[in-house]
A and B are shown apart, each in its own frame.
Chain A
Amino acid sequence: MKKKITACLIHVELIFMSFVVLTPIMWVLLSAFQKGNGMGRFNELTLSNFKRLFQETNYKHWFFNTLQIAALSTIISVFLIMLTAWVMSRFQFKGRKIGLLTVMILSMFPTFLSMTAIYTLFLNLGLVGNPISLVIVYSVGAIPYNTWLVKGYLDGIPSSIDEAAYMDGCTKLQTFYKVILPVSKPIITYCAVSQFILPWMDYILPNILLSKDKSKTLAVGLFALINGQESINFTIFAAGAVLVALPISIVFILFQKYLVQGVAAGADKG
């Protein structure tokens, strides 16, 4: 009897929590298919919001801008991170310790606090408005935190496998490509996925660096839709939000295992 009551209570709690979790998500889904502005009352379902999204806004441009930035910065940053972390993990050299410490303290400082400086820098280089500027900031900005993460991972891999490769006549870089990269797949997945998701989420830097409507990223474009005119555009925003949230959530749930490992390892490193 007591067992049954516990089971019942537990399921009530689970259903209640599911309700709390799902309400906002259902709300955005329903709004996306609402006719009109969808404020408050429910109307019939329609696809017109998606049509308006593509006709009246630059959603397509925003989407491909973001995709381009995300893909490029993922490739570059993973390459940089792996190289740095490998050198930091496997070689002893002067300045290594101080470098690691600097990197670790700087990684705690949010990039966007120096937004004025970043803006001035890219203005100076003539790159404001050019997506390359964001790729540079994301790729290089990812180094500090992730280097620590990957270094921790590589430290856990016995260096005897490197030595075996050296014995077989591999050069250092060959060992890196043929031995280190293959064994680091899980951590590479984590870095790649988190780097890929970042540009879809980030608001502040793209908002400052890419100001023309056509060159905006998705987050900035979508937020601009509802900022100050929520009552007019919320359903269009919802349509756009659903279109971007769907693939990202799926990627996230598919790679959950790696992401959880990555976050746990990230905290462990210090």
Chain B
Amino acid sequence: MKSKKTVLFSVFVWGSGQFFICKQRLKGLLFFAVQLTMILTELLSGYWIEWLCGYIPDFSIRLHAGFFIKGVWGVITLGEKTGGTSGDHSTMLLINGVISIMILLMLLLVYYWNIKDASRSKVKSDNTTYKREQTSLKKLYQRYFPYFIVTPIGIAFLFVVCMPILFTFLTSFLNYNRDHLPPGNLLSWVGFLNFKKLFTIPIWSHTFMKVLLWTVVWTLVTTFATYFLGMFQAMILNHSSVKRKKIFRTIFILPWAVPQMVTLPVFRNLLNGQFSPINQVLLELGVISSNIPFLSNALVAKATVIVVGIWLGFPMFMVMMLGVLSNIERSLYEAAALDGAGKWQEFQKITFPLVMKATAPNLIMSMAANFNGFGMIYFLTQGGPTNSNMQFAGDTDILISWIYKLTLNQQMYDIAAVMSVLLFFLIGLVSFWNFRRTTSFQEL
């Protein structure tokens, strides 16, 4: 009976059940403060009070509603009045709306907690007196300690990481492109039109498939080549006859240590079309008779990008595998030698499996890094050479660099968002599948 009343109170005025019936004054006040803040925010950020007093005869949500209601209105309509300083700015409305909806959801969570707490409070108030609220607060702190730490960080995370992703998802359902740019134009919801466009308009679907295919080829070839070159280099460095091991090791680590922002433009300079120093040296030595089009021929450019990718990537695997190799017990090899195993068999049966086992997770990580390897493409070739058969993409463009170009150079925010969404699911699926096999998942 009492619990029903508590809940009923708290449903309408947050925390009032706890406050009046269970005598948990502080807790009740806190809940009520949240509700009060919410209502005051809405009232004071809008013109509700003026409206209630009758000062505003023609009330409209667009002009007079407060933060929350206007936010929701903004997401639904994306603005009603076009243009200029007095018009609506659709993307601003959208982002404000997303923020206000996210805050509303959080408030809903507090509301739910408030009701749940009210229904639970009755048990305590039945058999214990309310005098020990102090201890109950302290207990609250002890019990919910993780939440006190995680909640603020989680909220920051929600706004800086999740909200932009949500915004990108929403953008893929808008007609947000260079023909419709706020504040000059209003945007509108177009449903799955952009997805349909990407898959049914030949030039889009054709480009998409081509870029996707090249992205996969680039990822696989570069990753495996760096992996095996790293392994090869580690084995060689680990050979007993090597002198000055430390010097070579330090040299080989340089491509990893020197920032890519420096090495990639340098490669671009070394390989550029008109005055490539590498071409000049080769010409003078008589190795070639005309310039190699390192960056201007589609096929050669692809090979160049991969070779540079390998140059950048092998040191990481080399260093890692050197660590693994030094941990393999000598006795294993001695036993193998006793059994009459040759060098190749030793590698095949002992070294390779052990190295593979220790570094396989890194192989997958490195694959993800190359798949998203924007810098390696953009700073080297900027996606070029340009290909007129492809929609705003060059021959060496991978998905990520194409998305970047579509966004920054072409202002095709909608199509770029569609591809980001597809990429998101692709990456999410693969990483989730990969993650499920690991021990950390089972221990979670």
A243 to B372, CA, bound (A): 28
Please tell me if B191 contacts chain A, counting CB pairs below 8 Å: no
The reply on A196 being an interface residue by CB < 8 A is no
Does A52 have its Cβ within 8 Å of any Cβ on chain B?
A: no
Report the minimum CB–CB distance from A157 to chain B (whole Å): 15
How many angstroms from the CA of A137 to the CA of B319 in the assembled complex? 31
Whether A24 touches B168, Cβ cut-off 8 Å, given contacts A105-B428, A143-B157, is no
**Residue in A109, A113, A117, A201 whose CB lies within 8 Å of B260:** A201
- Given known pairs A124-B95, A200-B261, the reply for A231 and B164 (CB within 8 Å) is no
CA distance A9 to B21 in the complex (A): 88
How many interface residues does chain A have, given as a range?
A: 35 or more
- B binding-site residues for A, Cβ under 8 Å: 91-92, 94-96, 144-147, 149-150, 153-154, 156-157, 159-168, 171, 233, 236-237, 239, 241-243, 248, 250-263, 265-270, 272, 275, 277, 280, 311, 316, 319-320, 323, 358-359, 361-362, 364-365, 368, 372, 374-375, 378-379, 400, 403-404, 407-408, 413, 416-417, 420, 423-424, 427-428, 431-432, 434-435, 438, 440-441, 443-444
Q: Are B365 and A266 in contact (CB under 8 A)?
A: yes
> Does A114 contact B168, Cβ atoms closer than 8 Å?
yes
* Set of chain A residues within 8 Å of B262, measured between Cβ atoms: 28, 241-242, 244-245
Q: B258 is contacted by which of A88, A148, A238, A245 (Cβ under 8 Å)?
A: A245
Contact for B261 among A3, A222, A256, CB less than 8 A: A222
Q: Is there an interface contact between B270 and A84, defined as CB atoms closer than 8 Å?
A: no
A259 to chain B, nearest CB (A): 9
In the complex, whether A116 has a CB less than 8 A from a CB of chain B is yes
Q: Beyond A113-B403, A241-B262, list 13 extra A-B contacts (CB 8 Å).
A: A3-B241, A20-B311, A40-B275, A110-B400, A114-B164, A115-B407, A117-B164, A118-B160, A140-B160, A197-B259, A222-B261, A230-B272, A264-B323
Among the stretches A54-62, A67-75, A92-100, the one at the interface with B is A92-100
Contact of B149 among A14, A83, A116 (CB under 8 A): A83
B250: chain A residues within 8 A (beta carbon): 253
**Is there contact, CB below 8 Å, between A260 and B270?**
no
Decide if A44 is an interface residue (CB 8 Å cutoff): no
Cα distance A7–B245 in the bound complex, in angstroms: 13
What residue of chain B has the Cβ atom nearest to residue A29's Cβ? Answer: B266
Residue of B nearest to A249 (CB): B257
Which of A13, A40, A266, A270 meets B280, CB within 8 Å?
A40
**Across the interface, do B95 and A113 meet the contact criterion of CB distance under 8 Å?**
no
Q: Does A87 reach chain B (CB closer than 8 Å)? A: yes
A181 within 8 A of B: no
Q: Can you list 5 A-B pairs, Cβ within 8 angstroms, ordered by A?
A: A91-B145, A113-B400, A116-B407, A118-B160, A121-B95
- Please report the C-alpha to C-alpha distance between residue A267 and residue B438 in the assembled complex, in whole angstroms: 10
Asked if A64 CB lies within 8 Å of chain B CBs, one says no
CB-CB < 8 A to A27: which residues of B? 266, 269-270, 277
CA distance A201 to B161 in the complex (A): 20
Task: Report A-chain residues with C-beta under 8 Å of the C-beta of B420.
Answer: 113-114
Is there a chain B Cβ closer than 8 Å to A39's Cβ? yes
Which residue of chain A has the shortest Cβ distance to B307 in the bound complex? A20
Instruction: Report the Cα distance A251→B349, complex, angstroms.
Output: 38
Q: Please name the 7 residue pairs, one residue from A and one from B, whose CB atoms are nearest each other, closest first.
A: A114-B164, A117-B167, A117-B164, A267-B361, A7-B241, A252-B257, A140-B160
Q: Report Cα–Cα, A112/B243, bound state, in Å.
A: 45
A24-B263 in contact given A7-B241, A140-B161 (Cβ < 8 Å): yes
Which A residues are CB-close (under 8 A) to B160? 118, 136-137, 140-141
Within the complex, the shortest CB–CB distance from A266 to chain B, in Å, comes to 7
CA distance A36 to B332 in the complex (A): 59
Task: Say yes or no for A269: interface residue by CB 8 A criterion.
Answer: yes
Known contacts A120-B95, A140-B157, A241-B265; is-contact A256 B259 (Cβ 8 Å): no
Nearest B residue (CB) for A22: B251
Interface residue from A120, A237, A264 paired with B320 (Cβ < 8 Å)? A264
Smallest beta-carbon distance B304→chain A, Å: 13
CB distance from A142 to the nearest CB of B (A): 10
With a cutoff of 8 Å between Cβ atoms, the chain B residues found around residue A101 in the complex are 444
Closest to A23 in B: B270
Contacts of A232 in B (CB 8 A): none
B261–A121 touching, CB < 8 Å: no
Q: A264–B360 Cα gap in the complex (Å)?
A: 10
Residue numbers in A under 8 Å from B255 (CB-CB): 21
Specify the chain A residue showing the minimal Cβ separation from B92: A124
With A24-B263, A104-B431, A270-B435 already in contact, the answer to whether A230 and B269 are too (CB < 8 A) is: yes
Is the CB of A53 closer than 8 A to any CB of chain B?
Answer: no
- Residues of A near B320 (CB, < 8 A) are 260, 263-264
Q: How far is the CB of B254 from chain A (nearest CB, A)?
A: 6
> Contacts A10-B239, A116-B168, A201-B259; is A270 near B438 (CB within 8 Å)?
yes
- Cβ of A172 < 8 Å from any Cβ of B? yes
Expressed in whole angstroms, the Cα–Cα distance for A124 and B440 within the complex equals: 40
Query: By the criterion CB–CB under 8 Å, are A249 and B258 in contact?
Result: yes
> Which of these, B147, B168, B242, contacts A14 with CB under 8 Å?
B242
B259 touches A200 (CB 8 A): yes
When distances are taken between beta carbons in the complex, the residues of chain B under 8 Å from A91 are 145-146
**Is A170's CB within 8 Å of the partner chain B?**
no
A234, CB-defined interface residue at 8 Å:
yes
Q: How far is the CA of A152 from the CA of B254 in the complex (A)?
A: 29
Q: Are A268 and B361 in contact, CB atoms less than 8 angstroms apart?
A: yes
Q: How far is the CB of B61 from chain A (nearest CB, A)?
A: 20
State whether B258 touches A25 (Cβ < 8 A). yes
A83: chain B residues within 8 A (beta carbon): 149, 153
Contact of B435 with A104 in the complex, beta carbons under 8 Å: yes
For the complex, is A164 an interface residue (Cβ under 8 Å from B)? Answer: no
